[in-house]
Structures are given as structure tokens and as C-alpha cells.
Amino acid sequence: MSGVQVALVGGTGIGERLLQCAQEAVHVPTSFGLMQARVLRWGAAEALLVARHGGGHRVPPHSVNYRAMAEGLVRLGVRHCLASAAVGSLRPEWGPGTLVVCSDFLELSGRAVSRFERSVAHTDFSRPFDPKGRAALLESAAAAGEEVQDGGVYVCANGPRYETPAEIAQYRRIGGDLVGMTAGSEAVAMREAGIGYACLAVVTNAASGVAGAPLSHDEVVQEMERSGERAVTVLKGAVERLSGSD
Ligand code: HPA
């Protein structure tokens, strides 16, 4: 056990930014593979930082070891996990730079992320993102004067390609607000492991067909360079609120 109760999964543009100020490495072997984290000390608050795509952004969304991440954090005694996620927006009114505290998800990636593949267990997902984590993000944003959307449905696609306009139109019809390639899988792995998981989505682009422009990873990275610091401010305040909460 590390004594740190809060984990922070930094996605595109945030993981690497935070790695620069992180300290000692923590490696935990699990039955799913190795979990690697670093300790992040933020004033009085501490978090275990997991850079989702690794240093140098080398791990694509479909190759992230979501189960090892969750299992490793459980073994370290982590109770709460906050994450950032770069997303495309299905709503024209939520333009690049919009921050969204996600409230639900559609996991359409088809990935094998359940820890219960060889045993029978059915986990409740009626509160898909942890209410405490969501409240911490919302309170932190309010305290910092950062505007955030309270609620949005995250559609998790497998990628690594971006979606077609018809796929996005279909996601919108079935209730999606945002599209990304990671947070749905991560939410499943974390919740099945008993960790309260909440996600701050950062809109980096209008999803395919919403604004008519072609999509590129460079555009996503550039928007994260512009908006990343606001997301970090919100995440930091939320870590402080969750530290020692229970
Ligand atoms: N689609 C999927 N994942 C993404 C997008 C997108 O438009 N933008 C950032 N991550």
C-alpha cells in the first residue's frame, strides 16, 4: 500500500504534462501485467499518476492495459480515480475547449476489459461515473471559476481511426454527446475493481461530420496545449477534495 488514496489517469496532453512534475515511480505486478505509476505531490495533496498512453505517447487506446491499471491501483489501496480524456463533440454548441464532467457512457469498443472473464459477477453500473468524483470535479471547477458542463454521455469507440459521419450521427441518435477511445473501457475496469472513477472530458474537436472538417491527431494535441492547463487546475482541486475523504 502506498498510502495514496487518489489516482489520476492523465490522457492525451495531460499525462505527459503531469509526468514532468511527478516524482518516484511505483511499479505493481498484477495478474493482467505490470501497472506503472508515479507519485504526484501537489501541495498537501498526493495522487498516483498514470500516464494512460505512456511517456512519449506510445500506447494507442486499444492497447492500454486497463485491467492492469485498475488492479494495480486496488493493490496500492486507491479508492478514487479521476481521469482526463480528449474527446470529439457531437454537440455543435460544445466547441473545442469545452470541459465536461461526464455522467454516463456507451462502451462500444468491444474490447475485453472485464476482470470477470472466468467467474460470474455482474457489477452495478446505474451510477456509471462515481458521484463523489463528479462532485469533487464540479466543486473544484466552481472554486476556480472554470466553466464546466455538468453531465454528458461519453461514447467509447475502439479507434485508433476517427469515426465516419454516419457513425457519429448514429451515436448522437442513441444518446451520445462526446466521443473518445478510452474512458468507457477505463470506467468499466475501474468500477469492476471497486474504484470510484470520474472523468473530465476536454473537447478538442467537433466530431466527424459535425463541423465538416477532416480530423487529425495534431489538432487534438494543439487544443490540449491550449486547454490542458484549465483541465489540470480542475483536476488538482478535485484531488485535494478527494484526498482523505474516505
Ligand atoms: N473521436 C474519437 N476520439 C477522439 C476524438 C474524436 O473525434 N477527438 C479526441 N479523441
Average pLDDT for the chain: 94
* Burial zone of 56 (CB within 10 Å; 0-12 exposed, 13-18 middle, 19+ buried): exposed
Say if CB 91 and CB 84 are below 8 A apart: no
The total number of structural domains in the chain stands at 1
Q: Ligand 1 atom 9: the closest Cα is on which residue?
A: 87
For position 117, what pLDDT does the model report?
A: 87
Give domain status of residue 31, yes or no.
yes
Give domain status of residue 1, yes or no.
no
C-alpha cell at 135: 462532485
Ligand 1: does its nearest atom lie under 6 Å from the Cβ of 220? yes
Question: Ligand 1 centroid vs 180 CA: distance in angstroms?
Answer: 5
CATH of residue 166's domain is 3.40.50.1580
Give domain status of residue 192, yes or no.
yes
Ligand 1: does its nearest atom lie under 6 Å from the Cβ of 46? no
For position 2, what pLDDT does the model report?
A: 60
Q: Ligand 1 atom 10: the closest Cα is on which residue?
A: 87
Q: Ligand 1 atom 5: the closest Cα is on which residue?
A: 88
Band (53; pLDDT cuts 50, 70, 90): confident
Give tens-digit pLDDT for 79-107. 999 999 999 999 999 999 999 999 999 99
- Residues spanned by the domain of 27: 6-242
Give domain status of residue 187, yes or no.
yes
- Position of cell 486496488? 74
- Position of cell 473544484? 140
Q: What ligand 1 atom has the least distance to the C-alpha of 208?
A: 7
Q: Tell whether the model's pLDDT for residue 161 goes beyond 70.
A: yes
Ligand 1: does its nearest atom lie under 6 Å from the Cβ of 181? yes
| Percentage of residues in the chain having pLDDT higher than 70 | 98
